[in-house]
Amino acid sequence: MTTIETAEASAIPEPSPRARALHEASLVWDAHMDSLMRVLAGEDLGVRTEGQADLVRWREGGVDVQVFAVWVDTVYGRHHAARRALQQIDGFHRLLEANPDRVGLARSAADIARLRGEGKLAAVLAIEGGIAIQNDLALLRTFHRLGATSMTLTHSASLDWADSSTDAARCGGLSAFGREVIREMHRLRMLVDVSHVSDDCIRAVLDLSDAPIIASHSSCKAISNHPRNLSDAMLRTIAAAGGVVGINFYSQFLDQAYNDEMGRRSVDLLAMLNAPPPLDPDALDAYADERIRTFWSLRLPRPPFERILEHIDHAVQVAGIDHVGIGSDLDSGAVPTPVGLDSVSDYPRITEGLLRRGYAEADVAKVLGENFLRVYRAAVG
């Protein structure tokens, strides 16, 4: 952290007794985190680590529900994606088995209430990127049987059945098979997650949906004009269907200046990320891990903490207080975040910031977790 950033962090008010009491009393739900990548790397999340989350700091941050993403890099393609997903699902269950007194699998709203009552972290499993199902509904059903209760349809690249927001369209939103995926997810009572997908894909999903959907980790395009963020029109569209948007804490999605500078500096980085993957399947894991390290290697001055609150404010103003939550996107590496938000331990600062902006305590509780719980109960059970 630079001297300027250290000074900015020290100027952020520490949570007041009122904020800490509200945070402790509220259900705190983080709708997206990539900690399973660290489990695959052999880290023990049962102890305090150098990452952005672990069981020690989830407790310090007052987190009651953590959604663990099973992220599959598009370099794995249709023939190796399921293996990568299963590696992470195995890591997820090993984490639970090693810490049964502190964390448990949640597959329903009732599970979440039970685990919270037991003082445990409710761990929700989510597939990030429909590439993991390898165009096979049997794999979707298998992931569901293993505990997954939601799926983000794409990641950064379009599939042949769903379009991404950061790639060329391939099927006008959803293909015929893509519509089968959505119908099967509804039958299984899996929550459909539209972070990463194109606007046309969101509209196509909603045309098929009789349950609310989520954008688990997306921010506001009106503040930072990144294609991964949601336009005001899409915020309203998701809200009108009863859904929730989780604000992402990655600096490029929060801050326009950071986004612009990343664009100027990342030509060589993008060339590496877009290079053809190795043909040898045994080399894919090391190649994918190196892509992650390279992606997070580009460091810029961090934006102020207030950017998080500004995105929450904007989403609330556009979509309504019942349709906004938190989806941090932390922990897939040293994710660059605003000053003052270094790990999940800092989440009480969000409660303090919202109170200082004049939010009623009941509305703060909605943003912290009640909104996601409502949608999860409606879509999953």
DSSP letters along 35-63, please?
A: THHHHHTT--TTS--SSS--HHHHHHTT-
Domain ranges of the chain: 3-7+27-379
* Cα–Cα distance measured from residue 296 to residue 277, given in angstroms and rounded to the nearest whole number: 19
Range of lowest pLDDT (230-239, 266-275, 329-338): 266-275
Token pair, residue 256, equals 């326009």
- Report the candidate in 89, 53, 134 with the shortest Cα–Cα distance to residue 346: 53
- Report the candidate in 146, 126, 144 with the shortest Cα–Cα distance to residue 29: 126
Q: What's the distance, CA 287 to chain centroid?
A: 23
Task: For residue 245, give the 3-state DSSP assignment.
Answer: strand
Place of tokens 């939550």: 325
- Report the candidate in 54, 37, 51, 64 with the shortest Cα–Cα distance to residue 98: 54
In sequence order, the β-bridge partners of residue 193 are: 152, 214
pTM recorded for the entire structure: 0.94
| 114 contacts 135 by C-beta, under 8 angstroms | no
Place of tokens 């945070």: 23
pLDDT, average across residues 57-68: 98
* Cα–Cα distance measured from residue 236 to residue 218, given in angstroms and rounded to the nearest whole number: 14
Task: For residue 82, give the 3-state DSSP assignment.
Answer: helix
Residue 57 burial (10 A CB sphere; 0-12, 13-18, 19+):
buried
* Cα–Cα distance measured from residue 67 to residue 65, given in angstroms and rounded to the nearest whole number: 7
250 confidence band (pLDDT: 50, 70, 90): very high
Residue 223: pLDDT over 60: yes
Q: Residue 290: what pLDDT?
A: 74
Token pair, residue 349, equals 């600062």
Q: Phi, psi at residue 207, to the nearest 5°?
A: -65, -25
pLDDT, average across residues 214-219: 98
CB atoms within 10 A of CB 3: 7
Reported as a single tens digit per residue, the pLDDT across 167-184 is 999 999 999 999 999 999
Range of lowest pLDDT (41-50, 264-273, 333-342): 264-273
In sequence order, the β-bridge partners of residue 326 are: 30, 247
| 1 against 107, higher pLDDT | 107
pLDDT, average across residues 54-77: 95
| 86 against 74, higher pLDDT | 86
CA–CA–CA angle 252, 331, 14 (5° rounding) = 80
Q: Residue 11: what pLDDT?
A: 75
Packing angle between helix 199-208 and helix 232-240, nearest 10 degrees?
A: 10
Token pair, residue 370, equals 């009640």
| 140 contacts 133 by C-beta, under 8 angstroms | yes
pLDDT, average across residues 252-258: 97
* Cα–Cα distance measured from residue 170 to residue 163, given in angstroms and rounded to the nearest whole number: 6
Helices (H), 160-255: 176-188, 199-208, 232-240, 251-254
pLDDT, average across residues 357-370: 98
Mean pLDDT of the residues in the chain:
93
DSSP 8: H
Residue 293: pLDDT over 80: no
271 confidence band (pLDDT: 50, 70, 90): low
CA neighbours within 13 Å on the CB side: how many for 18?
A: 10
* Cα–Cα distance measured from residue 197 to residue 188, given in angstroms and rounded to the nearest whole number: 21
* Cα–Cα distance measured from residue 145 to residue 147, given in angstroms and rounded to the nearest whole number: 5
Task: For residue 328, give the 3-state DSSP assignment.
Answer: coil
Residue 50: pLDDT over 60: yes
* Cα–Cα distance measured from residue 306 to residue 250, given in angstroms and rounded to the nearest whole number: 13
Q: Residue 212: what pLDDT?
A: 97
* From the candidate CATH numbers 3.20.20.140, 3.10.20.30, 3.30.1380.20, 2.40.128.120, the one assigned to the domain spanning 3-7+27-379: 3.20.20.140
Residue 294: pLDDT over 80: no
* Cα–Cα distance measured from residue 41 to residue 370, given in angstroms and rounded to the nearest whole number: 33
Reported as a single tens digit per residue, the pLDDT across 228-245 is 999 999 999 999 999 999
